[in-house]
Structure 1
Amino acid sequence: MRVLHTADFHAGRNLRGFDRTPEIQQALTEIAGLARSERADAVLVSGDLFDTVNPSAEAEAAVFDFFLRLRDANIPAVAIAGNHDSAARLHSVAGLLGWVGVQLVAQPTANPLDMIRTVETRGGETLTVGALPFLSERRLVKAADVLGGDVGAWRQKYREGMGFFLRRLAEGFQPGSVNMLMAHATMDGAVPSGSERTMQFDLLNAYTLSPLQLPAAAQYVALGHVHKPQQSSEMPVAHYPGSVVQLDFGEGGEKKQVNLVEVEPGRPARVIPVPLASGRELRTLRVTLDNVDARLASLEGFPGLVKVVVRAPSGTALPGLKDRVLRRLPNTLAVELDAVQEDLALPERRREGLSLLDLYERFHQERRGELPGDLRGAFREADEAARGEEEGVVA
C-alpha cells in the first residue's frame, strides 16, 4: 500500500500583508498531481488546512479544489483539524466532504473509537486510521488544576489525557489491515523551523507527547503541527512532513516535501520523502549601513520574497531607507532595524536602578526628543495608580 502524507497547508496565510494563498494552491495542485503519479492508495492530511478559524473564500477554494482533484483521481483521503482550524467549521462540512471521498475528523468524541476511519483501497487492501484532531490543552488541563500547580504537573496532566485517546484509538486497529495513527501535536524533541512565531511554539511546547506514548501497533504515525520535516520516532515510525511552502521568513531555506509511505499489514513502514517545487523562496538579507547597496545588488532578480534587516546603532534615524530598498528589491516585504546597544556599558546608559519613569523618559528622548511635562505627569500618575492596585492585590 502507498499512502501520501501531508499537513500544514495554512491556506489563507498572510505574510506582512502579502497573501500566500495562490502559492499554497499551487502546492496543493502539485501534491494532488504527486498522489496520482506516485499511485497513492490514500492521502492523509494531518491538520491546519487553514491559517485562521475564519478563512477567506479563496483559501477555502484552494483546499476544496485539492480534495476535488483527489476525487477525480479516485484517491480517498483522511484529514483532521489542527490548532489553526475552526473545528466547528470543519465539522459542519464533514458530511459534504464525505461525498467526495474525504473522511474528516474535526472534533474529538466521547468515544475515541468513533474517530477510527477505514479506507478500502483500489487494490482491495484496508487502511485503518486512528484520527486524533488537535486537542486544546485547556480541554485536557482544567483551570482548577493549573492554579497553584507547577509546569511539570500541567504537562503530566496533558500527557495523561492524550495517552487515554491514543490507547483507545489503538484498540480500533484491525488484524490484516494497515494500521496508522494521525495526530496534530508536538512531540518531545521536535525541532521547530526558525519561525517568526517562536513565542507561540514555545507556549505550545510546554505540552508535548513522548514517543513512548505512541501505540506500538501503529505502523506509521502521521504527525502535523511542526513545519520542519523530520522523524520523531523510530518505533513506531512517526514523521512530520512539514508545511507545504515556506510560510514565513523563519522557514527560509527549508526544503518542503510530502511523505510517501510504503507499508503492508504487520510490517513497519518505509518512508520516502518527495520534494515539492511550489511556493516562493523566502530570504532574510542582513546588511549594515555601509554595505546596503552592495548587498541589495546581490539579490536583484531574486524571484522570491525578501526581508531586509539593517544593523545600526540604537537611535539611528533611517529616513527613506525603506523606499530605497523597495526601488532595488520591489519584492521586499519588510525592512527592520537591528539596533546595536553598544553604548549600554557606559555609566550614563545603564538601566540598573532606574525607575519606570526614568526609563520611559530615556526612551522618549531617544525616539522623539525631550519628554513634555504634561506627559511626564500623566505617566507618573498612571504608574502610581498601577502600583497602588498591585499593593492592594498583594495585601
Structure 2
Amino acid sequence: MKILHTSDWHVGKVLKGQSRAEEHKQVLAGVIEIAHAERPDLVIVAGDLYDTAAPSPEATRLVTRALTALRRTGADVVAIGGNHDNGHALDALRPWAEAAGITLRGGVRENPAEHVIDGVTADGERWQLAALPFLSQRYAVRAVEMYDLTAAEATQTYADHLGRVLAKLTEGFTEPDRVHLVTAHLTVVGATTGGGERDAHTVLGYAVPASVFPGTAHYVALGHLHRSQRVIGPCPVRYSGSPLAVDFGEQENVCSVTLVEVGAHSAARIREVPVAAAVPLRTVRGTLAQLTEATPPEGWLRVFVREQPRAGLREEVQELFPRALEIRIDPELLPTPGSGTRVAQRAGRSPRELFADYLGSRGHDDDGVRDLFDELLEEVER
C-alpha cells in the first residue's frame, strides 16, 4: 500500500502581522496535486491542522476543503489533533467528517478502540492504524487511568504514560498479514526541532524515547516537529515536517510531504516529495550602507541591521526592504546579560537619568530617543 504522510499545516498562521492564508491555499493545493499524481491508499495528517485553538471561519473552511479534496482522490484520510488544535472542536466536526468518509480524531476518547482504525486498500491489502492525538501531561495521566492499564502514580513520567497508552492501542499488532501503522503528535528524544514548535511542548519533560513504538509497526507517522526527518527506533519512525516554513527559524527546512510504500511482508520504502508553493523566508544581514547596495531577495524578510540603535533606523530599512516583516539590531552587536555592565541604582534618581543609563547599557547613544522620552514623560506627568 502507499501512504501520503503530512502534518503541521498550521492553517491560520500570521507571521509578524502578515497573513499566510494565500500561501496556505497554494501549499495545500500542492499537497492535493501530489495526492492526485501519486494515488495513495491512505493519507495521514499527523496533527496541527490549525495554528490556533480558535481558528477563523476562513481557516476552518480551508482545512475542511483540503481534507475533502484529499478524500476525493480515492484515498482513505485520517487526521489527528495536535497541540495547536482544539481537540474538542475537531471532535465536534466528526459527524461532518464521517459523512465525507474522513476519519478525524481530535482528542483521546475513553474507548481505546476509537483510536484503532481498520482499512483495506483497493488491492485488498489490510491495514490497521493506531491514532494518538496530542496529549498534555495531565491528560496523559487521565488516559492511563481511563484505559485501566495500571495505577497512575504522580512520580511516573510523561513518557511512561504515553508508552502505556501506545502499548494499549497497538496490542493488536500481531496479525502477520496486515500492515500495522501508528500516527501520533509528540516529540521523540533525539529528533531535531524545526523552529516553529511551542517550547512548552518540546522540552524534555514532553519528549518520549522511540522505544515507546512497537517493533511490530511497519511505519510510524509523526507530527509536531517541523523538520522532515527519520528517527532511529525499533521500526521506521518519521516526521513529515511542515509543508511550509512557519517562521524564520525554519527558513532552511525542506518543505515536503512523505510518501511511503509498504506491505505486510515488505519493508517501508520512503521518499520525500517537495512542496514549494509557499513564499520563502529569508534573513538579510548588514550595515545600512551594505543593505543600501544589496538587491532584496524574494520572499518575506527578516533584517538584522549591523548598526547601533537610533531613531528612524527601522523606517530607513523598511524603505529599502518593503517585504521585511522583522527588523532588528543584529543580536551579535547587543551586549550579553551579565557582561559586566553596571546595574543602575534606582533610589533617588529621576526617570530621565534611569532611561539614560538604560540607553547606555544597550549601546544606544541617541539624543533623538532621549527627546522622545522627555516628550512622553511630560505627557504622562501632566
Match runs of 1:120-269 below 5 Å:
120-140=120-140, 156-173=156-173, 174-195=175-196, 199-200=199-200, 202=202, 204-269=203-268
Q: Secondary structure at the match of 1:263?
A: strand
CA contact (8 A) 2:13 2:20 kept: yes
Matched residue of 2:188: which SS?
A: coil
Structure 2: how far apart are the matches of 1:169 and 1:18?
A: 41
Task: Report if the CA contact (8 A) 1:229-1:242 is conserved.
Answer: yes
In the alignment, structure 1 residue 329 sits paired with structure 2 residue 331:
no
- The structure-2 alpha-carbon separation of the partners of 1:155 and 1:105, relative to structure 1 and needing over 3 Å to count, comes to farther
After superposition, give the CA deviation of every residue in 1:122-158 in whole Å (9 maximum; x if it has no partner): 222222100000001232369xxxxxxxxxx989521
Q: CA deviation at 1:101?
A: 1.9
Matching residue within 279, 283, 301 for 1:306:
301
Task: Out of 124-133 and 204-213, give the one that drifted further.
Answer: 204-213
Give, in angstroms, the shift of residue 291 of structure 1: 2.2
**Structure 2 partner of 1:317:** 310
1:57-101 deviation per Cα after TM superposition (whole angstroms, max 9, x unaligned): 221121111112123222110110000000010000112111222
Alignment of 1:1-395 (within 5 A): 1-140=1-140, 156-173=156-173, 174-195=175-196, 199-200=199-200, 202=202, 204-294=203-293, 297-299=294-296, 302-313=297-308, 316-319=309-312, 321-338=313-330, 340-341=333-334, 349-351=341-343, 364-365=355-356, 366-367=358-359, 369=370
User: Does the CA-based 8 Å contact 2:304-2:330 persist in structure 1?
Assistant: yes
Is the 1:12–1:51 contact (alpha carbons within 8 Å) kept by the matching residues of 2? yes
Query: What TM-score do the two structures reach when normalised by structure 1?
Result: 0.81
Question: CA deviation digits over 1:131-188, x for unaligned, max 9?
Answer: 000001232369xxxxxxxxxx989521111011110111133442111000000000
The equivalent of 2:148 in structure 1 is: none
Aligned match of 1:385 = none
Q: For this pair of structures, how many residues does the alignment match?
A: 351
The one-letter code of the counterpart of 1:251 is E
Deviation at 1:102, TM superposition (A): 1.1
Question: How far apart are residue 192 of structure 1 and its match?
Answer: 0.9
User: How far apart, in 1, do the equivalents of 2:135 and 2:82 lie?
Assistant: 8
Q: Deviations over 1:218-240 (max 9, x none)?
A: 11000000001111124310000
Q: Are residues 69 and 341 of structure 1, via their aligned partners in 2, closer, same or farther at CA, if it must alter by over 3 Å? A: closer
Residues 214 and 234, structure 2, Cα contact 8 Å, conserved in 1: no
* Contact 1:228–1:240 (8 Å) recurs in 2: yes
Residue 342 of structure 1, CA deviation: 5.8
1:387 match? none
- Which runs of 5 or more structure 2 residues have no equivalent in the other structure? 143-152, 360-368, 378-382
CA 1:176/1:86 → structure 2, altered by over 3 Å: closer, same or farther? same
Shift of 1:361: 7.6
- 2 CA distance for matches of 1:287 and 1:191? 29
Q: CA deviation at 1:289?
A: 3.7
CA RMSD of aligned residues (A): 2.8
1:220–1:268 contact (8 Å) kept in structure 2:
no
Higher mean C-alpha displacement, 79-88 vs 270-279 = 270-279
Q: Tell me which amino acid in the other structure corresponds to 1:178.
A: V
Q: Distance in 1 between matches of 2:336 and 2:37?
A: 60
Alpha-carbon distance change, 341 to 36 in structure 1, aligned in 2, over 3 angstroms: closer
Structure 1 residue 364: deviation in Å? Answer: 1.6
Unmatched tracts of structure 1, length 5 or more? 143-152, 376-395
For 2:139, the aligned partner's letter is R
